[in-house]
């Protein structure tokens, strides 16, 4: 998608940072810029990065990570920006790997999950999830914007949060998928570095599952769409039931957030 590259904003200490504006909706309108942002964790924000967040008008940081992830890589406190963290993992039994303080990689995580489990992980996350319910409550109030949402690397939990926001704004699923897959390009340096560490620590390890889990995969996000379609007659019904956003409220938000 030609418009993807100018969504990317380069920060010194944060990966996978981008503006979710500029995408075309089914009605031909565009999502406004400087309202919704997504990224990997913010633990290594530099002072220049923090100044950039303020220049972008970010008022709310929404963090999907579990307690242990946030403890190892805490989000800096910035004046004028509210930090909200509600874990989004849902009912999945596995512990998200996160990064340790010394930068080592927890290979045990990649030995205990597989693609099918990860696909199911995606499929269950959008439903009855207090994290995404709070996210969408924040989105409904324009005074909370700009809003930056993130998890550890900005791929899975953030990918679903981004899907919900763009779905609310009537962005086509094909475009939502392309926006989601953009993460692969932005995480390549991190994935390569992690793979090198794993090969050093576990010379005989099969890294197939590692690469599959560290990728934004069409199969994962399609599982979300499939589950929504299985449970609801329409996206409007899904948004009403899960997030108390009526058709009228959705239309009003589109007036505010599209151009």
Instruction: Say how far apart CA 168 and CA 100 lie, in whole Å.
Output: 35
pLDDT tens by residue, 207-246: 888 899 999 999 999 999 999 999 999 999 999 999 999 9
Residue with tokens 């039931």: 241
Tell me how many degrees the CA angle 43-213-19 measures, rounded to the nearest 5.
50
Instruction: Say how far apart CA 183 and CA 191 lie, in whole Å.
Output: 11
Model-wide pTM > 0.85: yes
Q: How many domains does the chain have?
A: 1
Bond prior to 146 in cis (omega within 30° of 0): yes
Domain range for 122: 5-257
CATH code, domain with 230: 3.90.190.10
Residue (of 178, 234, 235) closest to 22 by Cα position: 178
pLDDT tens by residue, 20-76: 999 999 999 999 999 999 999 999 999 999 999 999 999 999 999 999 899 999 999
Q: Which residues of 196-228 are buried (b: 16+ CB within 10 A; e: fewer)?
A: eebeeeeeeeeeebbebbbbbbeebbebbbebb
């Amino acid at each position: 998608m030609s418009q993807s590259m100018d969504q990317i904003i380069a920060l010194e200490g944060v990966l996978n940072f981008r503006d979710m504006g500029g995408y075309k909706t089914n009605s031909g309108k565009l999502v406004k810029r400087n309202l919704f942002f997504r990224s990997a964790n913010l633990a290594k924000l530099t002072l220049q990065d923090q100044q950039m967040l303020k220049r972008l008008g970010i008022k709310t940081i929404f963090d999907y990570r579990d307690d242990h992830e946030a403890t190892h890589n805490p989000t800096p406190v910035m004046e004028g920006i509210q930090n909200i963290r509600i874990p989004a993992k849902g009912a999945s039994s596995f512990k998200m790997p996160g990064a340790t303080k010394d930068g080592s990689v927890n290979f045990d995580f990649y030995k205990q999950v597989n693609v099918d489990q990860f696909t199911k992980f995606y499929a269950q996350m959008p439903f009855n999830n207090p994290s995404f319910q709070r996210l969408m409550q924040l989105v409904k109030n324009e005074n909370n914007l700009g809003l930056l949402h993130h998890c550890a690397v900005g791929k899975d939990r953030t990918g679903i949060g981004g899907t919900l926001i763009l779905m609310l704004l009537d962005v086509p699923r094909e475009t939502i998928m392309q926006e989601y897959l953009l993460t692969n390009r932005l995480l390549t340096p991190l994935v390569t570095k992690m793979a090198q560490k794993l090969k050093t620590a576990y010379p005989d390890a099969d890294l197939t599952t590692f690469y599959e889990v560290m990728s934004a995969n069409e199969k994962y996000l399609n599982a979300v769409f499939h589950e929504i379609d299985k449970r609801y007659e329409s996206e409007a019904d899904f948004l009403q039931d899960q997030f108390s956003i009526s058709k009228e409220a959705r239309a009003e938000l589109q007036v505010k957030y599209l151009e």
